[in-house]
Structure formats: C-alpha cells, structure tokens
Amino acid sequence: MENNENKKNFKPFIPADKVMPEMTVVSVILGIILAVVFGAANAYLGLRVGMTVSASIPAAVVSMGVIRVILKRDSILENNMVQTIGSAGESLAAGAIFTMPALFMWAAEGKCEMPSFLTITLIALCGGILGVLFMVPLRSALIVEEHGTLPYPEGTACAEVLLAGEEGGEKSKIVFSGLGIAAVYKFIADGLKLFPSEVDFSFKGKYTCGVGMDVLPALAGVGYICGPRVSSYMLAGGVLSWFVLMPCIAFFGGDALSAVANSAGELIAFNQLDVWSLWSQYIRYIGAGAVAAGGVISLVKTFPTMVRTFKKAISGLGKSASGNDRTSRDLPMPVILVGIVILAIAMWLIPTIPVNFIGALIIIVFGFFFATVSARMVGIVGSSNNPVSGMAIATLIVTTLILKATGTIGSEGMIAAIAIGSIICIVAAMAGDTSQDLKTGYIVGATPKNQQIGELIGAVVAAVTIGGVMYLLNAAWGFGSEQISAPQATLMKMVVEGVMGGTLPWVLIGIGIFLAIVVEILGIPVLAFAIGLYLPIHLSAPIMVGGIVKWFVENNRKYSSEAEKKSTVENGVLFSAGMIAGEGIVGILLAILAVIGVDSIFDLSGIYGDNFYAVGNWVGLAAFALLIATLVSFTVRKQKKK
C-alpha cells in the first residue's frame, strides 16, 4: 500500500509537459568521450584488482562542470544524458573483463588461437545491446511500480547530485561537501596510501575466521541510502559466511587435505587455509549458488508484475511509444523484439562469434533472466556491489554442462562457454547500469526513450574501445601476470575447466542453493542476504555502518514535526550522494594514473616500513570513524541551524 502511495504521489523534477534540451550534439559527444575514458579506466582497474567503480555520478559531475560552468548551458536533462551515455562504458567494461581474458590465457597456454579484435568487439557489442533491450520492458515493473521499495542507491544519489547542482543553495553545499571530503579521503587512502582502504583482522587454525571492512566513503553512503534493514540482511549473510561456514570448514576438515586445490594446484590442510583461500575456494561457490537461487526466487515472486508489464508493452505494438506522456515513453516494443531476434540470429550465424544455435538460445533465455535479477539487485545494493561474477559463475556452470551434454567439448566447448558467459555477463552489467540510469531519469524527469538510445550509443562506443584496451594490456603484461592478474577471469577459466573436467565442487553450490531456500522460508529477503553471503564481509560491514547512522538519525532525535525529520534524513541522503560521487571521481582518476604509470609517485606507504597493515589497520579505522562523524555532523547540523 505504501509503495502504491509513493508511486501515486511522485512528481518528477521536470514535469512531463515541459520539454527541455536532452539528447543534443553536446550531450552525445561529451557522453561518448566519457564512455571511452571511463570504460578504459575501469577495464584496467578490474583486471588489476577484480573490482570496478560506478561511473554514473562521476559522469554527472563532469557533465555539470562542462555543460553548466564552461558552456553556460542550463539543462538538467542534458547533464543526465551525458551520465547515461558515459556510464555505459564502465558497465560494459566490467562485464567484459570478468570473462574474456580467459580466452587470452588459453591462447598463451596453446589451447586455442588468440581471439581477434573483431571477435572481442562483436561479443561485447551483442552483450551491451541486449542488456539495454532486455531492460526496456522491465522499466515500468522495477523503476515505476517499485518506486519507494527499491532504493537504487546510486541512481538516487546521481539524481540528488544533479538536482543539487540545479537548485543550488544549502542542498548543493551538502552534496559538494560530501563530495569534497570523500574525494580527499579516497586520495589519501588509495592515492597516497597513508592507510589501507581495506582493514582486515583474520585468524587461522581451529577457528579460522576473519573480520574487517573496506573503510571507504562510497560504501557508507550506500548503507545510508539503503537504510538499516537492507544493510542488516547483507551483514547477516556475511556473518554466516565468515563466522559460521569458514570455521566449520576449517574445524571439521582439520588436518585433512582440502578437496579444492589452491591457485598453484596444491592441496593443503583445511586448518592451514587462510580466510581468503577459504573464501575464494569454498565460500564463493556457496555464495554463487545462493545468488543464483535467490535470483530464481526473486524472479518467481516478481513474475506476475513482469507479465502485466509485458502485456501492457505488447498492447502498444505498432504505436510509437509505450506511454502517453514524455516521461513514460520507452523504445517501441516492435523495435525491442526485432532487435533481440536479429542479434540472436547474428550470434548464431556470424563465424567470428564462437556461438552455435544452442548457445544463442542460452544467451536469450539466461540473458533475460539475469538482466531481471541484476536490475533488481542493483536496486538493493547499487552497481558497484552488484555480484555480476556470481551470476557469471552460475551461467558458465549451466552453459558448460549443456554444451558438454550436446557434444561440444574440449577447447571448442570451453571457448564457446566463455563467449556465451561473456555476453550474459555484459548483459547483466549493462542491465544493472541501465536500471540505475533510468531511476535517475525517473526522478529528474528525463525521457526514458532518449535514455535508452543513449545507453545503446554508449554500448556501441564501449564495445569498440574494450577490444583495443584488452589487446594493449595483454601485450604490455599478459593476463594472469602480477601486474594484470585478472582475478575474476581466472576464476571463470577455472569454473569452465572444472565443469569440463568434472572437478567442480557441486556440493558447495548445492549448499548455497538450500541456504537461500531456508532464508526465503524464514521470510528474509533472500537476494540481499545472498549478496552478503557471496561478497566479502569487508563490503557489508561498512554498508551496515551507514545503515546504523540512518537508523540513529531516524530514531534517536526528537523532531518538532514530520517535516523536520524528513528534512534531516534527506540531508544524510544528500551528503551520502556526495560521498559516493567523490570516491567515484577519484577512483577513476587513480585508475587513469595507474594506466599512465605514474601512480607510484604518490605512494607514501613506505613510511610504515614493514608494518603498513599492522599500523595502517588502526589508522584506517580511526579515519573511517572521522568520516562517519562528518556524515552525522552534516546530517544533523543543518537542522540545528534552523
């Protein structure tokens, strides 16, 4: 009932009957430039450390700087279009680098030929376009129907940044205060490296476990926007993984050799495995099973809404748009269906794409499934924390099994599995990013159809860029090397080889599936819990801290009116949006500096000698406490002045 009221009472910033410059030459060109830059930077970052950063908010801030300040143009919808196109580059890069480097590694091992530039580009292009097309019929169900239920933290934060820049005044000061503080903090932590951005305390032996947190502003900001309830579900999954499952594995395994080999192919005793070995070799597979099961359960629960939305879209066949006014106008359904069919046929018949007819069917079916799951998951935890790799693992397992059962085995089957997995991984990443952008557009009053076209433009540009980036990095260092370890792609490579060779730990995946079922029976939102189970506790812990701050603001202050309470809570959302933006911008900057090769110039970690982590952990916790204090201060101080 509350959700329906939120949807009914919602009014976008720009009314539907007002027309402003949106998809202009300036916004498209600037968006394309940012798609190339952010896509390349995130490709390097993901291949080096296994994580990418969302580019929506950094693109929005850059857009405001160029369009509003330099060009003196005044259109929030133009700014929104720039971030829509620019963020597509980051999301496509994230999906591509998690899987496709496996092809380069197999080529280096002599198991296949080096993938051509055209192959990489076409695979990325198919995934990028499909991710956008699959999201179009889901927009009404997830963005409109569930407004007030799914927070879409980064989409909401991006809208707040755009609105603050438009409205100016106190709101703008709060957002840009958060942005500035987070930017300086991020540069000190990951640029100057005066303290580690990941605080970690772990124990090995009979009770192997670990605890820690990524002491970063964006995660605290996501936690505040999501609130204490969603944050607690994620933390519960992390606690189960790190304080129950890990100790159980180490204790019951004891001195026996572990069943899963380490990265060097060696078997060592269970109680000699450290927490990160347990996480990568055991917990991650359990989490992947839970995420897959959670996705199925969530899909089943939202299926009636999706059917209603699809029927509504089908009823508009032949019409120019699926809505009557500007802010409810999507790409026409005939365009979506024809586009999907053309891409399916192209993937099947183009020789450069190593996908057969069965593979094309798998991509369409699983692609739509994971597009739906991804769009819902980012609505809970944001794009940066979207467990795309978990969905990719589930996809690769099923795909490789089907290919193996139909006689496509050996190197041919493994290459086909990675190609299919790459496309679906990109589909999931693009669908998640598109949903965040559409949420931003829904709040500011953008035209969905224009945004969807912008996403397609960004996908095409990024697909062409990613091939060159991969070839450049592979030629410079080689995937799997110390400089470019490609941790996610290495895992995907092991999964495909494990299924083909019959060595995949199915028991662990099954445990994850049934854990998700138990959680659903208990009435806990399974997807948020499964994400916490899959991701390291170091991510869910700082998110929980942000959630606790919001709980404190909502419940531990005496407000003279509901309006005063709402205004105070909103201050926290604005500051959190700024923190997400500040970290994102500096994250992109640091990635670019790393690509250029000058990042080591700023590295001051040597001041601790050999005690960087021993001393730095406590320094990091103290710095994070100060950061949280600023969040609380800027949230409540403004209200006190009133």
Q: What is the rounded distance in angstroms from the CA atom of residue 497 to the CA atom of residue 633?
A: 52
What does the alpha-carbon distance between residue 390 and residue 516 come to, in Å, rounded to a whole number? Answer: 14
| Predicted pLDDT at 311 | 62
Rounded to an integer, the average pLDDT of 186-194 is: 86
**Rounded (10°) CA dihedral 621, 627, 629, 630:** 170
DSSP states along 402-438: HHHHTT--HHHHHHHHHHHHHHHHHHHHHHHHHHHHH
**How far, in Å, CA of 630 to CA of 167, rounded?**
23
Q: How confident is the model at residue 227 (pLDDT cuts 50, 70, 90)?
A: confident
List Cβ neighbours of 96 (8 Å cut-off, separation of 6 or more). Answer: 43, 120, 123, 124, 127, 422, 425, 426, 466, 470
Say which range, 172-176, 283-287, 455-459, 502-506, has the weakest mean pLDDT.
172-176
> Could you tell me how far CA 24 lies from the centroid of its own chain?
28
What is the pLDDT, as a whole number, of residue 317?
44
Is the Cβ–Cβ distance between 81 and 22 less than 8 Å? Answer: yes
Give Cβ neighbours of residue 139 (< 8 Å, ≥ 6 apart). Answer: 330, 435, 438, 448
CA distances from 291 to 143, 207, 223, 233, 384 (A): 22, 26, 20, 14, 16
The whole-angstrom separation of Cα 93 and Cα 98 is 9
Cβ-based neighbours of 543, under 8 Å, separated by 6 or more: 219, 220, 222, 223, 226, 231, 234, 235, 381, 385
Q: Would the pTM of this model clear 0.75, i.e. be above it?
A: no
The predicted pLDDT at position 548 comes to 93
- For residue 202, list its beta bridge partners: 210
Categorize the per-residue pLDDT at 364 as very low, low, confident or very high, splitting at 50, 70 and 90.
Answer: very high
Asked if pLDDT for residue 474 goes beyond 70, the answer is yes
Confidence label for 17 from pLDDT (cuts 50, 70 and 90): confident
Spatial distance between the Cα atoms of 157 and 441, rounded to a whole number of angstroms:
12
Tokens standing for residue 612: 């960087």
Lowest-pLDDT range, 295-304, 334-343, 415-424? 295-304
Give me the pLDDT at residue 318, please: 41
Instruction: Report the largest interatomic distance among the alpha carbons of the chain, rounded to a whole angstrom.
Output: 72
Q: Is the pLDDT of residue 640 over 50?
A: no
Within 50-116, where are the H helices?
A: 56-63, 76-97, 101-108
Question: What does the pLDDT average to over 527-539?
Answer: 83
pLDDT score recorded for residue 639:
45
In this prediction, residue 440 has a pLDDT band, given cuts at 50, 70 and 90, of very high
